[in-house]
């Protein structure tokens, strides 16, 4: 994924500047006045009301009927050994470099929000808010905080902390205008009524309003009292008191090497429904291992507890090892219902010849993804059919990607005016212009070089010259953000439940008022059309599922007909190897993990059985084996149980 921040250059810069960093005594700052002034300056956004202002006729919900999804047999304790491919650049949650791979560990999957969504059923269940209510007009959600809710430092959570949390993200100290703007646009007002009651209003009513409003997190004012213009350095390595299960203690940050998360002592939610069987390990140690093959060796030796085995060579050849045969490492292929990452080529319609729809259609037919899937992925993956595919309610399953076809491709190119053929077999127009388009991609993974080498050779048979522009990760990202690419191979992490088209298709992300290309947005297509603008807005503001479904389906069809997105491949499952002391749920509600997760680890339903670890250690010493365990778990087909022996 290209979301991560600079690599090589940052590394070089870090090398260059590490020597000259000076330790300065931090000035004591108290920003209370400043924050109050900011609140005053934005009275529409921050509202201080009284309990009397609460509407009387609210229907409070508390999610008491929502089923749990963790396994009651889960055990507390133990240590999970994980790895990260790069040391986190910061522990902040706002400001530069906060979108790294480590962020979910400390924030998104850990810190509690007001309410959360049950990953199996999609219902809401209480987190920091013990109950919530939706206003009549559907725009405002009211929350009552759980009076027991505490930060990891023991201090109670207060309604005003949510206002601080919003302030930190939108204050004038934040340089990135995009995130600020996003926050300002997605929330209309935050109001507090008393210490434990607050409301969040959205600009317009939405079908998933409680989820959006309920995703706020509190920030302790004491900790952020020194938040000011120098916040990004000041808070760089300070772990804020968290409401979640894991905190990072100061001594546990070994820069460049490892970072350890410790389960909060007497975590306030430890016995709460939905949390009592989750977040089980006492410690999670994330070691930096920059090379995947080295990480695999560590996993093989038992130094890492779990490992993704998605790629065929990891699942097949590299898994032909003793720990797997002897049942020390258990492997699972678990199918998920998570929306499919829109991975494919983003055709920039501003750049000729891609402004010609026939060329785009020809290109779609000249990319032999099936061969890539068959050869590189052993036929285990499948063809992605559409952009934003796999949203349970909001994707049109009837759409099918265009297949590789030399004749259809040549027909389309012919219609576009490429009627002659050069000495090398590449089609040309009568005026001599060659049918040649560059594809930009990140060559950090050697796999992509191999993939495009195949596609290039296959495209040649269609008379299409696919030029390969593999660039270092950061450079490729920069190029696409500058909209300098012709075609870009890209994938975005998308989230359920509603797909977003606005950022990819809306004209406001394609050009500014004067018609200049707008850079630094995700509209990599350069696409701008009034009808798609309307539909994008409709997806964002739809009040009913039908309305959204109608708009998403139309958008998917437009994208297909205009052939601006060339879908590549999709993976319907996660393959995970875990040493047998890492236990995963196997109960009626949850088999292995809830089906709508991107990564089975993210909901923390596993646990570490130290007794089994000791047993396995002894077994390894004596050479004793357990039955080999390779399972296939498919929530859509409950009875497609494994081919291999069951659990030991």
Partner 1 sequence: MASLRFRLNPQTQRRLNRFRGIRRGYLSFLVLAALALLSVFGEVLVNSRALVVRYQGRYYFPTYGAFHPGSDFGEGYSYETNYRHLGQRLAKEGSGDWVLMPPVPFNAYENDFRPGVYPPTAPSAAERHYLGTDTTGRDILARLFYGFRIALIFAAFYIGFVYGLGIAVGCAMGFFGGKVDLLGQRLVEIWSNLPFLYIVIIVASLVRPDLTLLVIITGLFSWTGMTYYMRTATYREKARDYVAAAEVLGASTSRIIFRHILPNTLSMLVTFVPFTLAAAISSLTALDFLGFGLPVPTPSWGALLHQGTANLDAPWIVSSVFVSIVLVLSLVTFVGEAIREAFDPKRFTTYE
Interaction site with partner 1 (CB under 8 A): 8-9, 12, 293, 317, 371, 375, 378, 406, 410, 421, 423-425, 443, 446, 449-450, 452-454, 456-457, 460-463, 468-472, 474-475
Q: How far is the CB of 84 from partner 1 (least distance, A)?
A: 21
Give 159-228 as a DSSP string.
THHHHHHHHHHHSTT---HHHHHHHHHH--EEEEEETTEEEEE-SS--TTHHHHHTT-----TTGGGG-S
Measured from the CB atom, the residue of 207 and 289 that comes closer to partner 1 is 289
Pairing of strands 569-570, 487-490: unpaired
Measured from the CB atom, the residue of 12 and 646 that comes closer to partner 1 is 12
Q: How far is the CB of 353 from partner 1 (least distance, A)?
A: 20
Measured from the CB atom, the residue of 447 and 619 that comes closer to partner 1 is 447
d(CA 298, CA 284): 16
User: DSSP E strands: which ranges in 453-544?
Assistant: 465-471, 487-490
Query: Looking at residue 89, what DSSP letter applies?
Result: S
Please provide residue 307's backbone torsions phi and psi, each rounded to the nearest 5 degrees.
-155, 140
- 66's CB contacts (< 8 A; 6+ apart) are 118, 121, 123, 124, 125, 274
d(CA 522, CA 509): 7
Collapsed DSSP state (helix, strand, coil) of residue 582: strand
Measured from the CB atom, the residue of 7 and 238 that comes closer to partner 1 is 7
Q: How far is the CB of 602 from partner 1 (least distance, A)?
A: 29
- 258's CB contacts (< 8 A; 6+ apart) are 285, 286, 287, 288
Ramachandran assignment for 63, one of left (phi > 0), alpha (psi -120 to 50 degrees), beta (any other): left
Q: How far is the CB of 340 from partner 1 (least distance, A)?
A: 24
Q: How far is the CB of 329 from partner 1 (least distance, A)?
A: 19
Over its C-alpha atoms, the chain yields an Rg (Å, rounded) of 26
Please provide residue 295's backbone torsions phi and psi, each rounded to the nearest 5 degrees.
-60, -40
Q: How far is the CB of 290 from partner 1 (least distance, A)?
A: 14
Measured from the CB atom, the residue of 465 and 609 that comes closer to partner 1 is 465
Which one, of 374, 341, 403, lies nearest residue 571 by Cα? 341
Measured from the CB atom, the residue of 454 and 619 that comes closer to partner 1 is 454
Q: How far is the CB of 448 from partner 1 (least distance, A)?
A: 9
d(CA 440, CA 467): 9
Q: How far is the CB of 579 from partner 1 (least distance, A)?
A: 23
Q: How far is the CB of 148 from partner 1 (least distance, A)?
A: 52
Measured from the CB atom, the residue of 180 and 434 that comes closer to partner 1 is 434
Q: How far is the CB of 368 from partner 1 (least distance, A)?
A: 10
Q: How far is the CB of 449 from partner 1 (least distance, A)?
A: 5
d(CA 241, CA 220): 7
How large is the angle between the packed helices 160-170 and 177-186, nearest 10 degrees?
140
Which one, of 382, 389, 344, lies nearest residue 364 by Cα? 344
Measured from the CB atom, the residue of 462 and 487 that comes closer to partner 1 is 462
- 205's CB contacts (< 8 A; 6+ apart) are 137, 138, 139, 541, 543
**How many angstroms separate the Cα of 86 from the Cα of each of 133, 253, 299, 558?**
42, 13, 17, 39
d(CA 226, CA 38): 15
Measured from the CB atom, the residue of 58 and 471 that comes closer to partner 1 is 471
| Pair 38, 170: CB distance under 8 Å | no
Where do runs of H (alpha helix) occur along 194-337? Answer: 209-213, 231-234, 292-300, 312-315, 322-325
Which one, of 78, 537, 486, lies nearest residue 281 by Cα? 78
Q: How far is the CB of 530 from partner 1 (least distance, A)?
A: 38
Measured from the CB atom, the residue of 226 and 447 that comes closer to partner 1 is 447
| Pair 464, 362: CB distance under 8 Å | yes
Q: How far is the CB of 259 from partner 1 (least distance, A)?
A: 27
Q: How far is the CB of 596 from partner 1 (least distance, A)?
A: 32
d(CA 555, CA 206): 19
Which one, of 548, 496, 560, 479, lies nearest residue 211 by Cα? 496
Measured from the CB atom, the residue of 277 and 452 that comes closer to partner 1 is 452
d(CA 323, CA 640): 25
Measured from the CB atom, the residue of 26 and 457 that comes closer to partner 1 is 457
Q: How far is the CB of 446 from partner 1 (least distance, A)?
A: 7
d(CA 97, CA 95): 7
């Amino acid at each position: 994924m290209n979301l991560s921040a600079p690599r090589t250059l940052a590394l070089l810069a870090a090398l260059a500047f590490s020597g000259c960093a000076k330790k300065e005594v931090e000035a004591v700052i108290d920003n209370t006045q400043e924050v109050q002034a900011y609140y005053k300056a934005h009275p529409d956004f921050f509202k201080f009301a009284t309990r009397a202002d609460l509407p009387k006729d609210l229907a409070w919900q508390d999610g008491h009927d929502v089923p749990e999804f963790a396994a009651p047999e889960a055990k507390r304790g133990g240590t999970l050994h994980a790895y990260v491919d790069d040391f986190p650049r910061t522990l902040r949650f706002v400001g530069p470099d906060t979108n790294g791979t480590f962020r979910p560990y400390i924030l998104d999957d850990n810190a509690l929000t007001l309410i959360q969504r049950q990953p199996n059923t999609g219902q809401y269940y209480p987190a920091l808010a013990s109950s919530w209510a939706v206003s009549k007009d559907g725009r405002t959600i009211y929350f009552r905080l759980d009076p027991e809710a505490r930060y990891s430092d023991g201090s109670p959570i207060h309604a005003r902390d949510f206002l601080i949390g919003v302030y930190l993200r939108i204050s004038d100290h934040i340089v990135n205008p995009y995130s600020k703007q996003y926050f300002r646009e997605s929330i209309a007002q935050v109001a507090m009524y008393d210490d434990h009651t607050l409301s969040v209003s959205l600009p317009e009513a939405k079908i998933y309003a409680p989820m959006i409003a309920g995703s706020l997190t509190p920030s302790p004012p004491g900790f952020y009292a020194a938040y000011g213009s120098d916040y990004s350095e000041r808070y760089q390595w300070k772990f804020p008191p968290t409401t979640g299960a894991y905190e990072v203690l100061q001594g546990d940050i070994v820069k460049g090497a490892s970072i350890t998360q410790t389960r909060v002592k007497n975590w306030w939610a430890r016995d709460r429904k939905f949390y009592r069987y989750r977040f089980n390990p006492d410690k999670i140690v994330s070691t930096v291992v920059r090379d995947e093959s080295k990480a695999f060796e560590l996993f093989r030796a038992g130094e890492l507890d779990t490992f993704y085995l998605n790629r065929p060579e990891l699942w097949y050849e590299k898994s032909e090892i003793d720990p797997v045969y002897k049942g020390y490492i258990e492997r699972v292929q678990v199918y998920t219902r998570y929306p499919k990452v829109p991975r494919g080529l983003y055709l920039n319609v501003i750049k000729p010849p891609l402004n010609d729809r026939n060329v785009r259609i020809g290109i779609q037919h000249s990319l032999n993804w099936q061969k890539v899937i068959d050869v590189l992925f052993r036929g285990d993956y499948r063809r992605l059919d559409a952009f934003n595919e796999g949203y349970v309610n909001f994707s049109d399953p009837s759409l099918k990607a265009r297949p590789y076809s030399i004749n259809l491709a040549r027909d389309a190119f012919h219609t576009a005016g490429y009627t002659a053929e050069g000495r090398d077999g590449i089609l040309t127009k009568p005026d001599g212009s060659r049918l040649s388009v560059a594809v930009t991609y990140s060559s950090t993974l050697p796999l992509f070089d191999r993939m495009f080498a195949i596609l290039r050779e296959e495209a040649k048979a269609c008379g299409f010259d696919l030029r390969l522009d593999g660039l270092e990760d950061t450079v490729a990202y920069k190029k696409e953000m500058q909209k300098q690419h012709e075609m870009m191979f890209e994938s975005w992490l998308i989230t359920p439940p509603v797909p977003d088209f606005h950022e990819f298709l809306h004209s406001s992300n394609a050009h500014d008022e004067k018609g200049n290309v707008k850079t630094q947005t995700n509209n990599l297509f350069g696409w701008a059309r009034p009808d798609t603008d309307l539909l994008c807005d409709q997806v964002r503001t739809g009040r009913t599922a039908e309305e959204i479904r109608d708009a998403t389906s139309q958008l998917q069809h437009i994208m297909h007909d205009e052939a601006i997105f060339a879908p590549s491949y999709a993976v319907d499952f996660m393959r995970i190897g875990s040493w047998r002391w890492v236990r995963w749920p196997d109960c009626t509600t949850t088999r292995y993990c809830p089906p709508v997760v991107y990564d089975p680890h993210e909901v923390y339903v596993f646990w570490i059985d130290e007794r089994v670890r000791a047993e396995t250690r002894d077994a390894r010493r004596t050479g004793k084996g357990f039955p080999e365990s390779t399972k296939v778990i498919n929530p859509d087909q409950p009875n497609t149980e494994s081919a291999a022996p069951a659990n030991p």
